[in-house]
A and B are shown apart, each in its own frame.
Chain A
Amino acid sequence: MKNEFIEHHLNMNRRKFLSRLSLGVGSLALGSLLVPDLFGKSSGEEAPFIPGMPHFAPKAKRVIYLFQNGAPSQLESFDYKPKLREMMGQELPASIRMGQRLTGMTSGQSSFPLVGSHFDFKQYGEARAWISDLFPHTAGIVDDICIVRSMFTEAINHDPALTFFQTGAQQGNRASFGSWMSYGLGSENKNLPAFCVLLSRGKGNGQGVYSKLWSNGFLDSIHQGVQFSSGESPVLYLNNPEGIDMANRRQMLDQLAALNDQSYKEFGDPEINTKIQQYEMAYRMQTAVPELTDLSRESDDIIKLYGPDCLVPGTFAANCLLSRKLSESGVRFIQLYHQGWDQHGNLPNEMAGQAKDVDRASAALITDLKQRGLLDETLVIWGGEFGRTNYCQGKMTADNYGRDHHPRCFSIWMAGGGVKPGIVYGETDEFGYNIVKDPVHVHDFHATILHLMGLDHEKLTFKHQGRRYRLTDVAGKVIPGLMA
């Protein structure tokens, strides 16, 4: 059965590929992009699965990951704990903390006073999900999303925790989530990379992001995330220099192709042909990308939906809108990072600002995808790298406090792409410190998303330096409760 399935795909690809050969040089690049490693030279010493092909029928085709970098507090967003307000200022019971390690920032504190949310919560939707007043737009799409309150991780500092979320390991140098998708499924668009990265930052206390988070690691660098920027050039080095227009660029490329072709005739090295094709792909990107990143021609309804910020390049709102456009054009994995969520102090103030930056546009993205009929095949994820403590870091006053890092529980939400909509999954104790029901480890989260994409996380492997690597390392289980 499995063989028939793969054979069917091979036939499909063979037909597709051969039928497009007549179109010219460009289509060759297309063939290899569809199934990127099919013609590549370094797809591992053997292929336990066939790159560019799902293991079973996928529910989601594309992912948009709205990463909230710095770790937003679950206690002011999606994990309602009235008990913390009741016990405001009282000591965190040792029976709850259970000797859990703390970061160096609060391990020296003589007391751990509990602190309740500064913001009120209300219930929304069929699931009667509790959402804080900071996220009114998210509350408006509650029936489309699945709130997971029982995420947990192993890392307690930003760098390792982010790296863990993005690559499945705390140390660097592994392939990132998006690179695995690109490797596993290839690209749907011949003019765009399969994995794109968009950055933005709020005014809250920020933590950096690192290019290793979208690194291809040991995979071919064709799977590297391509960072889009809000500057003059949406992709690095994309724009022709001043003084050269597209027609003139075309002329140079024609000369170049002629020169390189002579070289091929002399040396017979297939790399020379690949080079010619890569120049053609670069040329096509030069046209395709600016068209796509031009947000000025969006309708008023869309601008209204995402909010006026979406016309300001480099904002989270603009990136959300851009991610919808990229996704619609077939980009497999779009990774957003919004920085500024590290509220060790001044939490009520900073978090209000951060939420204002992201709430409307995040919800707009879901609504927009839905009205275009794309939500079913697009998986959207919203969340940070860990949670925050239920006790106060630093000085606590009536309306000001801070929270330290807390890996033991935190909340994220997911929507579309085969995720069960309108549910709340998992539960923490009344102190919001430990998980009491349905824990979801980072590896489980990865396994589940790969499953939704039609990939078996135990079969999506790459052999490097003698070991078969997986996004889920040696663990992870698919969580059926999250899937429709």
Chain B
Amino acid sequence: MFQRCVRLTICSLAFLSACNNGDAPGNQQEKLPEIVDYNFDIRPVLSDKCFACHGPDANKREAGLRLDIADSAYKALRETPGAHALVPGNPMASVLYQRISTTDSSMRMPPPSTNMALSNYEIKLIEKWIKQGAKYKPHWAFVAPVTPALPKVNKEKWARNEIDYFVLARMEEKGLEPNPAADHERLLKRLCLDLTGLPPSPERMDRFAKDTSDAGYERMVDELLADSAYGEKMAVHWMDVARYADSHGYQDDNYRTMWPWRDWVIHAFNENLSYKDFITWQLAGDMIPGATREQLLASGFNRNHKITEEGGVIDEEYRIEYVTDRTNTFGKSMLGITIECAHCHDHKYDPFSQKEYYELFAFFNNVKEVGLQSVVGGPETYAKTPYMEITKEDLKGVLSFINKQDTNRLIVSVMGEKDTTRKTYILGRGNYDNPTLEVQPETPHAVLPFDIKQYPANRLGLAGWLFDKRNPLTARVFVNQQWQEIFGRGIVKSTGDFGMQGDLPSNPQLLDWLAVDFMRHGWNIKRLMKQIVMTTTYRQSATISKEKLKADPENIYLSRGPRFRLTAEGVRDLVLKSSGLLVPEIGGPSVKPYQPKGLWEMATSGRGILATYRQDHGKSLYRRGLYTFIKRTVPPPSMMIFDASNRDQCEVKRASTNTPLQALIMLNDPTVLEASRVLASRLMQKDNNTTSNITKAFRLIVCRTPQKREVDLLQKYYDQQQQLYKQQPDNAVKLLKHGEYPMAEHLDNASWAAMMQVITTIYNMEETLSKT
């Protein structure tokens, strides 16, 4: 183990020195491609190193030179008449090439002062590209996808569906062999976590063990997709996208009631609403002619942003903030573009002008709302105008999925248009008090111009435009997000940025195939999920050979199954489900489980009902992670430490870190201790055979039968702990006190405490908290 580490270390250091010489890592020895491709080889370099001064931002453009558009790059230079930046076929005559390859630092581009140097490889690449004609191509992501032909592969038998063909072709290209199939226990755990967010029950494990055939696997997939836990699992990612929270945010951060909207999201996924309807209702549910109450509720999506209750703010400043948030969320989550960069100036890398930003902004700028409607107050402040009141009739009818538990008035913020049109202006430097030119609703031209004849110039029209067959981004962005949730990494790694500075797709044909197929089949989400988990690609084992770790450390080419840590919600759900504590109720107001004392109190302004944390009791302690109360300014630490979103803004991708604080939570959080205690008592009350109890606990938690040496090790640990707690009966009593769940009776404390310790140990295993 140590030797490995040492080697890794030295490699890392060598890698860093290489960086330092200005050579891109890994590329040093790499051969130049036969045909240099603008999109895949050249544009990433130009975008990263040149466009900031010679790109789309007209205000920052130097020497009038623009390199992101062919015509501008070919034409005579303004400052050196007769010369051209690019002379196709002739690098030596191209001023661009002269300037990047010169040794004269006063002439060198990019200027040394920018701290951006081109590597030798990059310079050679550009030289070859010019030699081959300096051909530009439109940015791949802004060209609508078409179904690519299935690639030829050597091992046809390996492929189960089209996805496998595309993945295998890439593997073969890179000289990688696919991993064998995962064993059925680990595969089932993976599948259950991906489709329901919960570990498999022993009953499911037994059933699947009896029939691991393709048909048996497919039956399991169908069963899981039909499980209501599926909607809860899918909702987690969407709550990040929607920046869902249970408080208004900003300094006072008092309570809000958006949870009925969250209940709708779960319902919509379970009902398998098409992605088109799912989004259309969220963007413009209020504007659909004859809108249903459900569609109106869905539009709450765009009211999940923070809303201030700070007395004395400038109203318009905050109203503009809200519209900005909606515009940015739309761009990032549905179009996968960083349109927010054009909020203050033209985009530096992508062809989005500041004017286009405000044209998009105009769609969201006509809401019947104010910046500051009310300061911290009572139930009337839990939603802000426009809002809907959930009535008894709603609950009996179309909104029966809302888990309302009391008779109090329930209001939810939703969207609603003003009767007149509010004018939209470009805001100078993005400042609310600096309106300049008036603009009309429009969409970014580079993506797809807005056809005013086909669509009304409002949010409903915008939704129509989003699902226009010619829109190049919508389907790609969504399938990529779902791919990321399953494989841990999108086909486009930068999930929120399909623009020039984003990552290129690791398998462009696969992405396009998935996108077109998704559109053709009615934007059917469950179908997409099934298609992915049915593949041979998905079913591979997750073991990493040394060779593969070296050749493809990030598993970009998918020659092994996905293996990564569970999400924050996943950790909690696994602990509760495997111990039998989970209360599988769906929806309702968010709950306040155990949390270290004093956190809300330390950080509050003192105003509002969230100034103090009033922990819940009883069944509210055992709800799934997605129901944990999110107070924006003090989000639950046990979730944040496992990389959950703080819901401050739209997020499409979570980090996955490995820190000591995570270890401390798993060792010391009452949730884990209580689960260990309760599971120990339940097993022991049924059976007094320690070995078989250890085996059962292991199977419930790790979702596989333990190996003999694992049982032996834990058995020995049990014996030792039992001895210890026999000698320290007081400590046994103390240990068994954690958590509010009622105590079991008639158990020997020392044995119980020992079994509890064994189970806590199993909860802390790396494999337990990993999708394997």
Residues of A within 8 A of B (CB): 3, 6-7, 10, 13-14, 17-18, 21, 28, 31, 38-39, 41-42, 46-48, 50, 101, 103-107, 156-159, 171-173, 199, 201, 206-212, 215, 220-222, 226, 229-233, 235-245, 248-249, 251-252, 255-256, 258-264, 266-276, 278-279, 281-282, 285-286, 404-405, 458-459, 465-467
Provide the residues of chain A in CB contact with B252, threshold 8 Å.
208
The reply to whether B9 and A271 contact each other, CB–CB distance below 8 Å, is: no
The reply to whether B732 and A243 contact each other, CB–CB distance below 8 Å, is: yes
The reply to whether B668 and A237 contact each other, CB–CB distance below 8 Å, is: yes
Cβ contact of B2, chosen from A21, A173, A465, cutoff 8 A: A21
Question: Given A220-B655, A237-B669, A278-B663 in contact, is the A267-B563 Cβ separation under 8 Å?
Answer: yes
B311 contacts the other chain (CB 8 A): yes
Q: How far is the CA of A249 from the CA of B310 in the complex (A)?
A: 47
The reply to whether A21 and B496 contact each other, CB–CB distance below 8 Å, is: no
Given contacts A14-B10, A211-B634, A255-B713, 18 further A-B contacts (CB under 8 A): A10-B16, A21-B5, A28-B5, A38-B13, A41-B553, A201-B602, A212-B646, A221-B657, A231-B598, A237-B664, A241-B670, A244-B735, A269-B542, A270-B8, A272-B766, A278-B663, A466-B497, A466-B502
The reply to whether A241 and B598 contact each other, CB–CB distance below 8 Å, is: no
B709 contacts the other chain (CB 8 A): yes
The reply to whether A244 and B714 contact each other, CB–CB distance below 8 Å, is: no
The reply to whether A105 and B714 contact each other, CB–CB distance below 8 Å, is: no
Query: A461's closest neighbor in chain B, by CB?
Result: B115
8 Å CB contacts to A: which residues of B492-533? 494, 496-497, 499-502
Question: Given A101-B433, A241-B673 in contact, is the A285-B660 Cβ separation under 8 Å?
Answer: yes
Question: Given A104-B372, A267-B544, A271-B565 in contact, is the A210-B5 Cβ separation under 8 Å?
Answer: no
B 650-666 binary contact with A (CB < 8 Å = 1; else 0)? 00000101111111110
The reply to whether B720 and A251 contact each other, CB–CB distance below 8 Å, is: yes
The reply to whether A239 and B668 contact each other, CB–CB distance below 8 Å, is: yes
The reply to whether B312 and A50 contact each other, CB–CB distance below 8 Å, is: no
B354 contacts the other chain (CB 8 A): no
Provide the residues of chain A in CB contact with B310, threshold 8 Å.
157-159
Interface core residue of A18, A221, A239 (most chain B CB under 10 Å) = A221
Question: Given A3-B20, A39-B12 in contact, is the A241-B738 Cβ separation under 8 Å?
Answer: yes
Cβ contact of B603, chosen from A101, A210, A220, A459, cutoff 8 A: A210
B395 contacts the other chain (CB 8 A): no
Cβ contact of A39, chosen from B8, B669, B764, cutoff 8 A: B8
Provide the residues of chain B in CB contact with A255, threshold 8 Å.
713-714, 717, 761
Q: How far is the CA of A285 from the CA of B761 in the complex (A)?
A: 19
The reply to whether B544 and A208 contact each other, CB–CB distance below 8 Å, is: no
The reply to whether A210 and B634 contact each other, CB–CB distance below 8 Å, is: yes
B24 contacts the other chain (CB 8 A): yes
The reply to whether B737 and A252 contact each other, CB–CB distance below 8 Å, is: no
The reply to whether A208 and B605 contact each other, CB–CB distance below 8 Å, is: yes
Provide the residues of chain A in CB contact with B549, threshold 8 Å.
268, 270
Distance of B22 from chain A, by nearest CB (Å): 10
B 586-624 binary contact with A (CB < 8 Å = 1; else 0)? 000000000011110011111000000000000000000
Cβ contact of A199, chosen from B16, B603, B664, cutoff 8 A: B603
8 Å CB contacts to A: which residues of B642-693? 643, 646, 648-649, 655, 657-665, 667-670, 673
Provide the residues of chain B in CB contact with A233, threshold 8 Å.
596
Q: How far is the CA of A267 from the CA of B648 in the complex (A)?
A: 37
The reply to whether B736 and A268 contact each other, CB–CB distance below 8 Å, is: no
Query: B114's closest neighbor in chain A, by CB?
Result: A458
Distance of A217 from chain B, by nearest CB (Å): 10
Q: How far is the CA of A212 from the CA of B2 in the complex (A)?
A: 38
The reply to whether A240 and B667 contact each other, CB–CB distance below 8 Å, is: yes
Distance of B567 from chain A, by nearest CB (Å): 13
Provide the residues of chain B in CB contact with A270, threshold 8 Å.
8, 549
The reply to whether A275 and B16 contact each other, CB–CB distance below 8 Å, is: no
Provide the residues of chain B in CB contact with A458, threshold 8 Å.
115
Give 8 A-B contacts (CB < 8 Å), ordered by A residue. A10-B16, A221-B655, A251-B720, A259-B710, A266-B543, A275-B663, A278-B660, A282-B661
The reply to whether A208 and B717 contact each other, CB–CB distance below 8 Å, is: no
Q: How far is the CA of A466 from the CA of B17 in the complex (A)?
A: 24
Distance of A1 from chain B, by nearest CB (Å): 13
The reply to whether A237 and B736 contact each other, CB–CB distance below 8 Å, is: no
B144 contacts the other chain (CB 8 A): no
The reply to whether A278 and B662 contact each other, CB–CB distance below 8 Å, is: yes
Question: Given A241-B735, A255-B714 in contact, is the A211-B635 Cβ separation under 8 Å?
Answer: yes
Cβ contact of A466, chosen from B9, B349, B603, B632, cutoff 8 A: B349
B765 contacts the other chain (CB 8 A): yes
The reply to whether B766 and A212 contact each other, CB–CB distance below 8 Å, is: no
The reply to whether B500 and A466 contact each other, CB–CB distance below 8 Å, is: yes
Q: How far is the CA of A39 from the CA of B738 in the complex (A)?
A: 38
The reply to whether B502 and A465 contact each other, CB–CB distance below 8 Å, is: yes
The reply to whether A263 and B766 contact each other, CB–CB distance below 8 Å, is: yes
B 108-137 binary contact with A (CB < 8 Å = 1; else 0)? 000000011000000000000000000000
The reply to whether B649 and A48 contact each other, CB–CB distance below 8 Å, is: no
The reply to whether B13 and A14 contact each other, CB–CB distance below 8 Å, is: yes
The reply to whether A249 and B667 contact each other, CB–CB distance below 8 Å, is: yes
Q: How far is the CA of A285 from the CA of B250 in the complex (A)?
A: 33
Distance of A335 from chain B, by nearest CB (Å): 13
Q: How far is the CA of A220 from the CA of B656 in the complex (A)?
A: 9
B772 contacts the other chain (CB 8 A): yes
Provide the residues of chain B in CB contact with A230, threshold 8 Å.
598
Provide the residues of chain B in CB contact with A211, threshold 8 Å.
603, 633-635, 640, 646
